[in-house]
Amino acid sequence: MEAQSRPRLNTLVIAAALTMFLMQQGCFSYARLLGAGAKTRFSTTEFIKVSCSKTSYPTLCFNSLSRHASLIQTSPVLLAGAALNVTLDAALSTSTMMHKLSKTHGMTPREVGAMKDCVEELSDSVDELRKSIDEMGQLRRKPPNLGLLLNDIQTWVSAALTDETTCSDGFAGKVMNGNVKIAVRSQIVTIAHLTSNALALVNKLASILV
Ligand SMILES: *[C@@H]1O[C@H](CO)[C@@H](O)[C@H](O)[C@H]1NC(C)=O
């Protein structure tokens, strides 16, 4: 009996000492978790992570949205809105890049043709994303036609995704300088992934609100 309880007692003493040490180091500091600023920041990041885990590209989702955490807080409406905004920004900068590339890169007429088709599809997707973002703005105050509005947004975002996919598929088949093709196509694929994630967040929003 004596011989058995002694090691257990030692274990307890070590555990208690370790706990006190860790508490001194602030590892169990609940104040840190419950403090207003800290709590908001913590729960916002968690909220974005959990929401993103249900999209098709969770890492891209989290990396693109976590920097907008203070704006998003824990609002599914702001989260979906920020996802659409991030997607639009990416589509705009790729579109600008492609436009420049098609003029300056000494491309063959066929290559320029392929690039132009893609720029056009990307420009359609930019318009569709803009329309969906406009309608997202109306969600700030609960509108009477909520279901219809969300349905519209889903339609616009799906259309944007289709245009981006057409662009990247078309691009893959065309004769084009290897490096340019790879660089441009990978950007378009990223935009399509961002759009797919935004659509998943909009769909989730619809499932909560309607
Ligand atoms: C998205 O962009 C629109 C237009 O610039 C802006 O009004 C809105 O606040 C942004 N929404 C989010 C959630 O960032």
Question: Which residue range forms the structural domain that includes residue 141?
Answer: 9-209
Q: Are 69 and 128 in contact (CB under 8 A)?
A: no
* Percentage of the chain exceeding pLDDT 90: 50
In a domain, 2, yes or no: no
Q: What does the pLDDT read at residue 26?
A: 44
| HEC assignment per residue over 40-55 | HHHHHHHHHHHHHCCC
Ligand 1 midpoint to CA 85 (Å): 6
Give 76-89 pLDDT, tens digit per residue.
Answer: 999 999 999 999 99
Q: How far is the CA of 57 from the centre of ligand 1 (A)?
A: 22
**pLDDT score at 91:** 97
Report yes or no: 209 and 145 within 8 Å, Cβ to Cβ.
no
At 130, phi and psi to the nearest 5?
-60, -45
Q: Residue 40 and residue 188: Cα distance in Å, rounded?
A: 34
82 touches ligand 1 (CB under 6 Å): yes
Residue 171 tokens, joined: 């691009």
Q: How far is the CA of 18 from the centre of ligand 1 (A)?
A: 48
Give the atom of ligand 1 at the shortest distance from the alpha carbon of 84. Answer: 1
206 burial type by CB count under 10 A (0-12 exposed, 13-18 middle, 19+ buried)? middle
| Distance between CA atoms of residues 7 and 58, nearest Å | 47
pLDDT of residue 30 exceeding 50, the answer is no
Whether 155 is in a domain gets the answer yes
Domain total in the chain? 1
Neighbours of 100 (CB within 10 A): 10
Q: Is residue 3 part of a domain?
A: no
Q: Whose CA is nearest to atom 14 of ligand 1?
A: 82
Q: CB atoms < 10 A from the CB of 139, how many?
A: 19
- Rounded average pLDDT over 95-120: 81
Report residue 114 as tokens.
Answer: 């392929």
Label residue 202 by pLDDT band (50, 70, 90). Answer: very high
- How far apart CA 59 and CA 54 sit, in angstroms, is 11
Tell how far the Cα of 144 is from the centroid of ligand 1, in angstroms: 21
Q: Looking at residues 197-207, what average pLDDT do you find?
A: 96
Ligand 1 contact, 201 CB (< 6 A): no
Extract the tokens encoding 91.
């589509």
Start-to-end CA span in the chain (Å): 65
Residue 59 within any structural domain of the chain = yes
In the predicted model, what is the mean pLDDT of residues 142-160?
Answer: 94
CATH number of the domain where residue 61 is located:
1.20.140.40
Average pLDDT score over the chain: 82
Answer yes or no: is the C-beta of 71 below 6 A from any ligand 1 atom: yes
Residue 54 belongs to some domain of the structure: yes
Q: How far is the CA of 81 from the centre of ligand 1 (A)?
A: 6
Of 133, 138, 139, which is best to mutate to test ligand 1, by the most ligand atoms within 8 angstroms of its C-beta? 133
Q: Does residue 45 have its Cβ closer than 6 Å to ligand 1?
A: no
